[in-house]
Amino acid sequence: MTVGIVIVSHSPKVAEGTADMVRQMVGTMVPLAWCGGDGQGGLGSEVGAILQAMETAWSVDGVAVLVDLGGAAMQAEMAIELLDEGRRARVQICEAPIVEGAVIAATEASGGSDLAAVRAMAEQLSP
Amino acid sequence: MSGTGSWALIEAAAGSLIAHADELTELDRPIGDGDHGINMKRGAEAVLAKADSLAALPLAELLHQSGMTLVMTVGGASGPLYGTLLLELGKALQGQADPPDRATLAAAFGQAVAAVKARGRSDIGQKTLLDVLVPLHQALAGHQPLATLGPLVLAAAEATTPMLATRGRASFLGERSIGHLDPGARSSALMVVTLLEALHQGPATVTP
C-alpha cells in the first residue's frame, strides 16, 4: 500500500478536477479521495465530508491532505483532531498549492515513499 | 446556571446570530466570501435543533456538544474557530463548579481564546474575531464590571474597521480591507452582548 491522498477544496469542481489530474498521473495505485462544497450546492468545506474522504483514502502508511484556502485548512485540522488517536498522527496537511501539490504528492507516494517524504516533496512547491 | 439556565444562554446567542444573519453576510461580502451570516445561522439552527438532548446538560458538556455541532455544521474558518472556542471552554470548565465563579470563567475563557489563536495562527490586531475575544478576556480577568463588557466588545468590533487584515480571506485584499468592519469580530460582539443581556436583563434584545 502507498500513502493516501485527500484533496479538500472549497469548490467540488476544483477538488474533482484535481483528483482527475492525479489519476492521470498515477492511475489507481494510490488511495485517493476528494471533497468540496458546503453540501448544499454552494462553495465551502465541511468537516464531515473531510472525515469521509480520509476514511475513503485511508492507508496504513498514512494520508497526505492538500487544501486550497485557509478555511479548508482549518477544517482539515479539525477533522484530524476528530480521528481516533491511532490515526491522528498518520494524517498530515501539506502546505502546498492544491493542484501541483496533489499531483506531486501522489507521484511521490506511488513510488513507495513514506508520509514525511510525500509531504516534503509537496511542500517544496511552497513559495 | 446549570441545566436549563445554561441552555437559555445558548438559545439567546443562537437567536442573536439568526437575527443578524443578513447583516453578518453583508459585512462579509466586501472583504470575505459573503457567507458568514449564512454559515453562523446554519450552526445556530443546528444547535437549537438539538434542544431536546442539550437543554438539560451541565454547562461544560453543553459547551462541548454545542462546539461539536458548530464544527460539524459551520463551513469556512468560522466552524473551526467558534467550535474550538466552545470545545476548549467546555474542556476548561469540566469538573468546575456550575455555574463557575468569575475567576474560573475568566481562566477558562483565556484558555479557549488561546486555542482560537492557535487554530487560526493569529493574534490581536489582524482584523479577526480575536480583536473582540482578547480584550474581552482581559476585561474579564481584570475584574471590570460586567456592565462595561457589552460596550467594550461592541467598540472592540468597531475598532476592526480601520485595521488592515493580515489573516483570513480579507488579507488577500491588502489595503482594500481597510474601512470594513470584520464580520467575525461583529458576530463575536453580538453573541457576547446577547449573553450579557440574557444573564442580567432577562430576554435579549440587541439592536444592530
pLDDT in tens, B31-40: 998 999 999 9
Considering only alpha carbons, which residue of chain B is nearest residue A10? Answer: B76
Q: Measured between alpha carbons, how far is B134 from B192 in angstroms, rounded to an integer?
A: 13
Q: Which residues does residue A6 pair with via DSSP β-bridges, in sequence order?
A: A33, A65
Q: Which residues does residue A8 pair with via DSSP β-bridges, in sequence order?
A: A35, A67
Q: Measured between alpha carbons, how far is A9 from A36 in angstroms, rounded to an integer?
A: 5
Q: Taken in order A84, A85, A90, A92, is the CA torsion positive or negative?
A: positive
Answer yes or no: is pLDDT of B125 > 60.
Answer: yes
Q: Measured between alpha carbons, how far is B121 from B139 in angstroms, rounded to an integer?
A: 23
Here the cell at position B16 is: 442573536
Q: Does B86 touch chain A (CB under 8 A)?
A: no
User: Does domain A7-123 sit in CATH 3.40.50.510?
Assistant: yes
CB B131 within 8 A of CB B155: no
Q: What is the pLDDT of residues B141-199, one digit of tens each?
A: 999 999 999 999 999 999 999 999 999 989 999 999 999 999 999 999 999 999 999 98
Q: Measured between alpha carbons, how far is B10 from A13 in angstroms, rounded to an integer?
A: 36
Answer yes or no: is pLDDT of B3 > 70.
Answer: no
The chain-wide mean pLDDT, for chain B, equals 93
Does A10 participate in catalysis according to the annotation?
yes
Which positions ≥6 away from B19 have C-beta within 8 Å?
B206
Alpha helices in A1-127 (DSSP H): 12-26, 47-56, 70-82, 85-88, 98-110, 115-123
Which positions ≥6 away from B201 have C-beta within 8 Å?
none
Considering only alpha carbons, which residue of chain B is nearest residue A47? Answer: B72
Q: What is the pLDDT of residue A85?
A: 93
Q: Measured between alpha carbons, how far is B107 from B97 in angstroms, rounded to an integer?
A: 13
Sheet holding A91-94, edge to edge: A32-36, A4-9, A63-67, A91-94
Q: Which domains does chain B have, with CATH numbers?
A: 4-200 (1.25.40.340)
Interface test with B, best of A8, A52, A67, A78 (most B CBs within 10 A): A78
Contact B120 A43 (CB under 8 A): no
Contact A78 B84 (CB under 8 A): yes
User: Residues 49..78 of B with a Cβ closer than 8 Å to A: which?
Assistant: 71-72, 75-78
Answer yes or no: is pLDDT of B208 > 60.
Answer: no
Mean pLDDT on B41-66: 97
Annotated catalytic residue within A2, A4, A5, A10: A10
Q: What is the pLDDT of residue B76?
A: 87
Chain A residues with CB-CB distance to B81 below 8 A: 74
Here the cell at position B186 is: 461583529
